[in-house]
Amino acid sequence: MIAPRTRTVGVVVLALAFAFARAALPQENLSFERVPLAMSSPGGWRLAERSTADAGRATVDTTVAHDGAHSLRIDRAAGGGLTRVTQRIPIDGRNGGNRIALSGYVRSSGADASLWLRVDGPGGFLAADSRGATDAPADATWTLHSVQLPLPAGAREVVLGLSVRGAGAAWFDTLAFERVDAATLPPPSGAALRYVSSALDIMQQHSINGRTIDWPILRAAALEHARGSVSHADAHLAVRFALRDAG
């Protein structure tokens, strides 16, 4: 358990309108240490358009942090709805690693908190996933979470998201966003390999596009995305990749 670091400085409330070979990507302010003098936004982050009207408030908290002096805090009074703070990052899916990963420390009190990733291409949405929404402990202790997505060759933008659902408070700090080359990761465990292989067998037997898919190529690509997996949950990234490519 990592105890929260407390200070005598107050919480700075911000307006809601603020708009493994691994390679770091050109993200901004992932530990929320850069707060503009005008206190109008934590540089690089903004409230997502689809956050509900009763989204509550977002703050840069200077009394609680996992590391450094600040964390991002989201408070919600309403039991329903969602608040999401996002950052958009341009990316070229054709060069570099074939997977992206967002990790960070999360603590919550009552609300469900999660890390979220979305990949967009020239035509819009390609893939999205989140991690932590149902398994982050609601006891105000810091917990490390990570979410990963395959990076399609057509990717042009990645959206990082910090989501809070329900009533309560949640804090985010010490984030890291990386591009991962799956080929450099260790082979999947036996259990993970069997899970992915079984899922691919079912897809091949029942896919409506089965006769037009090059299954050896799809299978090889999916098994590459399974590298580094230990559990079924880890290996589901490879299954999602195969489902998307199989149509």
Would you list the DSSP string of 164-184? Answer: EESSEEEEEEEEEEEEE-GGG
Res 95: pLDDT: 76
Is the pLDDT confidence value at 228 over 70? yes
Q: In whole angstroms, give the CA distance from residue 166 to residue 111.
A: 5
- Comparing CA positions, the residue from 159, 127, 156 lying closest to residue 225 is 127
Reading the block at residue 89, the tokens are: 């990052």
pLDDT at site 17: 31
State pLDDT tens for residues 85-135: 999 999 988 777 889 999 999 999 888 999 999 999 999 999 899 887 554
On the question of pLDDT at 173 being above 50, the answer is yes
Q: What's residue 3's pLDDT?
A: 45
215 beta partners: none
What pLDDT was estimated at residue 18? 32
Task: Give per-residue pLDDT as tens, 191-200.
Answer: 999 999 999 9
Do 147 and 101 contact (CB within 8 A), yes or no?
A: yes
Q: Which residues pair with 106 in a beta bridge?
A: 143, 172
In the predicted model, what is the mean pLDDT of the chain?
A: 81
